[in-house]
Homo-oligomer: A and B are copies of this chain.
Amino acid sequence: MALTQPEAVERWARDRAIDLWVSFALPDVAAAARDDGALITRVDETPSSWAVFEAMGDAGVDDVRRVGVLAATPSGLSAGRAAGAQAVVGIAATSAETADLLLVEPDAVVTPSGFGSLYDERYSSGRLLRPQVLLNPGPALTTERVKRAAAGVDLCHREPEYTVLDRRIRDRLRAVAEVGDDWAVALLSGSGTGAAEASLRAAVRPQSRVLVAVNGVYGERLLAMATRAGIDVVIAEYGWTEPADPAEIAGLLETELDVDAVAVVHHETTTGLLNPVEAIAAVARDRGVRVVVDGISSFGAEELTLEGSGIDFLVCSSNKCLQGLPGAAFVLVSPAGRERLEAVPATSVYLDLAAYLRGSEAGSVPFTPAIPALASLDAALDELLAIGADEHRCRYAERAAALDLVLDGLGLEPIVAPASRSRTVRAVPLPGGVSYEPLHDALKRDGYVIYAGQGRLAPEIFRVCCMGALGPEIIESFGGRLAAELDRAAATV
């Protein structure tokens, strides 16, 4: 019987990871697991996957993802791997034995007395490493199949099997963005910040300036990228809950000379604020000014028409609203953007956007790509395109509406006005008498990871972000936990 996601979360938060340990002819090393309520079956016959399956049958555990295998011999560990056991742990007394056992690739090898601390880190009901509902603004929760895709075969990036993956991802990203083949896609290894910096460096010709809209930490970061790269800036600054103003930007483009590009963050995760990037891009387009949009935390979730919009560089990452793993970033480049970057001398090797595009046009890549992160992105795009990009964005909208309902019911008013709120992040003032850390820790014990405020907002707010592979019902169950914790805090004031 499949669990609902709130049931799964309950289990993540409270249950041990492994219900049955099959121990091949070992004296009792798994006391920690027994004390934690797990079953231990000692098997003295010759190790085999059949022996593991039989022990599962006897114990009534029908899922190898709830089974661990313990052994002190390569054959025992191999049996665990052949049975597909979720945890395969070797027990070795010496470093020579450890090295031998590692050859059959168990998850870990420990000494007999070392099992307890491994157990506490990975498998116990109180374990450190457990799935959690990540309500931080990325990395977000991903599906198991997206994670498994990172563990695919090792590939050389100069071989055609890599090129197939690379091209498919570019095509699918264009499909999500709803742009034509005349848009280029640069795939970079690293976080979205690297891709944003590469775009800024590519968009502004020498002796020109960039207009940067700033109303949060990520706008400030764009500004720092420009100034550190030696690019002169015009700043359009706003309060942190105030969207950038297209009319004011239009005015600045009239009065300030030599502005070659506008850079703006679509979704400021600082506060959960959306900037009106389409209106800003239209203003820039009409004046022949290129537009760089940091869409790292919006792409896939928010409505955004790229074709004809005036947006020339849309910067994104693999790990937020596309629900891939962190490690890859990309830039969607319009034909005008593609033309622009040929007129800008490179000021970096690693952050040279033109090199990535020329590479892809030649069927090559300039530097070793983060292939596992790309394979996971490909798997995530499977899931996104199966329901359709429209429906994916709708689900984000619905989840945000559900979150607003929860917050409203608790009398918590996000600091950004409804018209400018994103579909993923809410920054909410901490109620009187409630401090962030105890609230965070209490919710984390229940399996929900919220996020602190950033910069000058850190002491005043907390953030809840609903990116990632989260079912709609998860918001309601989170709301229940949040209500209970706020009640408890109020009672202790």
Which residues of A approach B to under 8 Å, CB–CB? 2, 48-50, 53, 56-57, 62-65, 74, 78, 81-85, 95, 98-99, 102, 104-109, 121, 128-132, 134, 136, 138-145, 147-148, 150-161, 164, 188-194, 197, 221, 224-225, 228-230, 317, 319, 325-328, 346-352, 367-373, 376, 382-383, 386-388, 444, 449, 451-452, 468
Contact = CB atoms under 8 A, between A and B. Distances in A.
A24 B439 CA distance: 47
Contacts of A190: 188-190, 194, 350, 367, 370
8 contacts: A131-B153, A138-B368, A139-B156, A151-B151, A194-B350, A228-B346, A230-B347, A370-B373
Identical chains bound together, number: 2
Identify the interface centre among A142, A190, A468: most chain B CB within 10 Å of its CB: A190
A334 B65 CA distance: 44
A382 B90 CA distance: 13
A5 B152 CA distance: 19
A383 B102 CA distance: 7
Given A74-B2, A449-B159, A368 B62 contact: no
Contacts of A95: 386, 388
Contacts of A325: 150, 371-372
Contacts of A192: 367-368
Given A64-B84, A191-B368, 17 more contacts: A2-B104, A49-B56, A98-B386, A107-B148, A136-B158, A139-B155, A139-B157, A189-B189, A189-B194, A189-B326, A189-B370, A197-B351, A221-B349, A225-B348, A230-B230, A348-B348, A348-B351
A154 B140 CA distance: 7
Given A85-B84, A134-B156, A327-B373, A128 B161 contact: yes
B105 A82 contact: no
B102 A131 contact: no
Contacts of A78: 2
6 closest Cβ pairs, A-B complex:
A84-B84, A327-B370, A190-B190, A64-B84, A63-B82, A147-B151
A439 to B, nearest CB: 15
A141 B161 CA distance: 15
Residue among A53, A85, A224 having the largest count of chain B Cβ atoms under 10 Å = A53
